[in-house]
Amino acid sequence: MSVLVELLADFHKAEADCDAIHAKWYLAAAVALAGSSAGDKLPDLYHLAVADLPLDQEKIVQRRIKEALLKTSILMGLPKTLQSLVPLFLCMTNDKIDAYGPRTEALGSVEATKAREERAQHHFDMLWTPDAARVHKEFLLENQPDACEHPSTTSWSNSHQN
């Protein structure tokens, strides 16, 4: 057993009383491995995290790991994220890969789009006061218009321009 796998096993033991689909140890470890350019070790982590789990729970753990990597890719960069995801997918057979994508599934849904826009607006409102938000938005529109025209925010950006 490698030193890394032993270290990961220690983290696993620390949350031994926690249900695998609610544990956090493997999420922090997955992000740390990806961020430190050790994504090729993600299969070791994955196999440790899903040991003895039924396939439906294994896919939930997998989904949580992929989501953690997706959400932190803005911090570590997409190349490091991909260098972690590729080995993860290659270590599994096709029937074990969870191909569900909640964002993709909801693309055609008017309700999901509206909910996403409301969450984005709420987040934006929490970051800045309305006046500061307007100034930031005007600055972005002037200097980086594409930042306000992302496909998922097009209707938000068009409906909130002053």
Give the mean model confidence (pLDDT) for residues 153-157.
Answer: 41
pLDDT at 30: 96
What is the per-residue pLDDT across 27-85, written as a single tens digit (0 to 9) for each? 999 999 999 999 999 999 999 999 999 999 999 999 999 999 999 998 999 899 999 99
Q: How many CB atoms lie within 10 A of CB 114?
A: 12
What is the per-residue pLDDT across 111-122, written as a single tens digit (0 to 9) for each? 887 887 788 777
Model confidence at 157, pLDDT cuts 50, 70, 90, reads: very low
pLDDT at 114: 85
Per residue, the 3-state secondary structure of the chain, as one string, reads CCHHHHHHHHHHHHCCCCCCCCCCHHHHHHHHHHHCCCHHHHHHHHHHHHCCCCHHHHHHHHHHHHHHHHHHHHHHCHHHHHHHHHHHHHCCCHHHCCCCCHHHHCCCCHHHHHHHHHHHHHHHHHHCCHHHHHHHHHHHHHHCHHHHCCCCCHHHHHHCCC
Cα-flanking dihedrals φ and ψ of residue 97, to 5°? -75, 125
pLDDT at 159: 44
Q: Can you give the pTM of this predicted structure?
A: 0.67
pLDDT at 90: 93
pLDDT at 142: 76
| Measured distance CA(12)–CA(115) in Å, rounded | 35
pLDDT at 83: 94
Higher pLDDT, residue 152 or 44: 44
